[in-house]
Amino acid sequence: MTPEEEAIARAELAMNLRRQNVAGHKVLAALESVPRSLFLSAEHKALAYADRAAPIECGQTVSQPAVVAQMTEALELGPNDRVLEIGTGSGYQTAILARLAGHVYSVERYRLLSDLARERLSVLKLDNVDFLVGDGHEGWAEHAPYDRIIVTAAAAAVPEALVEQLVPEGILVAPVGAEGMVQELLKCRKAGEGLVGEHIADVRFVPLVPGIAGRL
């Protein structure tokens, strides 16, 4: 794609998301400020501004922009919020969180993905993000509690450690459901020791896999 073609594709995606009404002005402006092509490998850059999921390294996927917008909106981010993200992946969602929140802590089980995301965010001069290679089932206890938690891989249930690491009244957004099936995207609020959830959408995410990846 030439730079002109890329600018047109970006603007078309922005208009398309605005028409779908998936998120408010602030979230959409954050999406528009982040060049999605930076997060895709050369062979998949042509998919950068289509409103669909796309393959990334390590056999994973970057979410569809409309879903990224919906999940970000559901978090109701404030400028001072401390956010835990499980599933760094390409770092695209991380970059959008970093634009809207105070600080982002992002956990990924593949070192390669974590390292690539770190480089991409430094290109965008986003320095309010810390990365960890680890198992998201355990959250990131060192920096807990978090005002907001977002999980971008699907589990049968929200891992207990994440509930523990969320502040009272904090919001957690996660796809919940069996692998390979349609999952429920839930927006949950912490009430007492547990979560009260509401259904946002039907989605399909890669699974939350236990442990750190052995290779890569």
Binding residues vs ligand SAH (CB under 6 A): 56, 60-63, 86-87, 89-90, 92-93, 107-110, 113, 135-137, 152-153, 206, 208-209
Residue 90 a catalytic site member: no
d(CA 109, CA 208): 9
Q: How far is the CB of 4 from ligand SAH (least distance, A)?
A: 26
Which residues in 93-102 are b (16+ Cβ under 10 Å) and which e? bbbbbbbbbe
Q: How far is the CB of 191 from ligand SAH (least distance, A)?
A: 25
d(CA 100, CA 63): 18
Q: Which residue's CB atom is positioned nearest to ligand SAH?
A: 89
Q: How far is the CB of 110 from ligand SAH (least distance, A)?
A: 5
Closest CB to ligand SAH among residues 17, 113: 113
Q: How far is the CB of 208 from ligand SAH (least distance, A)?
A: 4
Q: How far is the CB of 116 from ligand SAH (least distance, A)?
A: 10
d(CA 93, CA 68): 7
The one catalytic residue in 33, 37, 41, 63 is 63
Closest CB to ligand SAH among residues 151, 195: 151
Closest CB to ligand SAH among residues 49, 92: 92
d(CA 126, CA 120): 9
d(CA 133, CA 139): 11
d(CA 73, CA 80): 16
Closest CB to ligand SAH among residues 46, 209: 209
Long-range contact list for 19-24, CB < 8 A, 24+ apart?
A: 20/66, 22/66, 22/69, 22/70, 22/73, 23/69, 23/70, 23/72, 23/73, 24/73
Catalytic residues: 63
